[in-house]
Amino acid sequence: MSELIGKISKTIEELKEEEAEALVKEALDKGVEPVKILEEGIIAGVRAIGEKFEKKEYFLAELYEGGEIAEKLVEIVGPKIPKEAGGARKRVIIGTVHGDLHDIGKNLVAMQLTMAGFEVRDIGIDVPPMRFIEEAENFKADIIALSSLLMATMMNMSEVTNLLKELGLRDKYKILVGGGPINPALAQMFGADGYAENAVEAVKVAKKLVGLGEN
């Protein structure tokens, strides 16, 4: 069965959606544990795509396509996994800050975080500071992830961190920021706990922020 799982991972890495779907269904039919298919097949395949992205063998288009393939496969496997199998997952609220209507980068980060095992709630674009906090409170989030693609809107990230301080909630959440104009120095100025240049890096930083390491 390990050979079949390996094929699932490889076909995802090679962006062969139909072949990967057929292999996942075959594995389920043969009684392979759904959690094993998810962790050693689907997530391993996504991780391989991320490694190729980091080596510049794949680009954003392939990264996005791989995430979409994995999402479809998770829809097949997910209902077969016992509720208690994965245990409690770390939770992330993600959105594009007030005034910014861009969502491609945010969507890609949300997808990669989901594939890495985080429970993600995407609250969209043009999100006011207070809504980030309200959603984080309702969702019992561990991380608030802020995205901005415009220099004109990136300063709105600090509105979220400042409001958290005013409400006495700053220590309750880890703040992760990213987007076109952001860099580590700006992230620090905005009061963020972490900065990620791209979606693959966002997963690594998010895991580190909540004590999960990089594996």
Residue 188, number of CB atoms within 10 A of its CB: 12
Confidence of residue 160 (pLDDT cuts 50, 70, 90): very high
Separation CA 133–CA 209 (nearest Å): 18
9 and 44 Cβ atoms separated by less than 8 Å: yes
pLDDT score recorded for residue 87: 55
pLDDT score recorded for residue 88: 66
pLDDT of 144 strictly over 70: yes
Burial letters 5-44, b for 16+ CB under 10 A, else e: bebbbbbbbebebeebbebbeebeeeebbbeebbebbbbb
Separation CA 45–CA 116 (nearest Å): 11
Please give the residue that has the higher pLDDT: either 32 or 104. Answer: 32
What average pLDDT does the chain have?
A: 90
Pairing of strands 143-147, 194-195: unpaired
Identify which of 202, 206, 209 has the alpha carbon closest to the alpha carbon of residue 50.
Answer: 202
171-214, pLDDT tens digit by residue? 999 999 998 889 999 999 999 999 998 888 999 999 999 998 65
CATH classification of 91-209, choosing from 3.40.50.140, 3.40.50.80, 3.30.110.40, 3.40.50.280?
Answer: 3.40.50.280
pLDDT score recorded for residue 116: 84
Average pLDDT over residues 78-85: 68
Give the pTM: 0.77
Residue with tokens 């561990």: 142
Separation CA 133–CA 123 (nearest Å): 11
Burial letters 150-180, b for 16+ CB under 10 A, else e: beebbebbbbbbebbeeeeeeeebbbbbbbe
Residue with tokens 């990230």: 157
Pairing of strands 91-96, 174-178: unpaired
Annotated domain spans of the chain: 2-80, 91-209
Q: How many residues does the chain have?
A: 215
CATH classification of 2-80, choosing from 3.40.1280.10, 2.30.40.10, 1.10.1240.10, 1.20.1730.10?
Answer: 1.10.1240.10
34-58, pLDDT tens digit by residue? 888 988 999 889 889 888 988 999 9
70 and 9 Cβ atoms separated by less than 8 Å: no
203 φ, ψ (degrees, to nearest 5): -65, -45
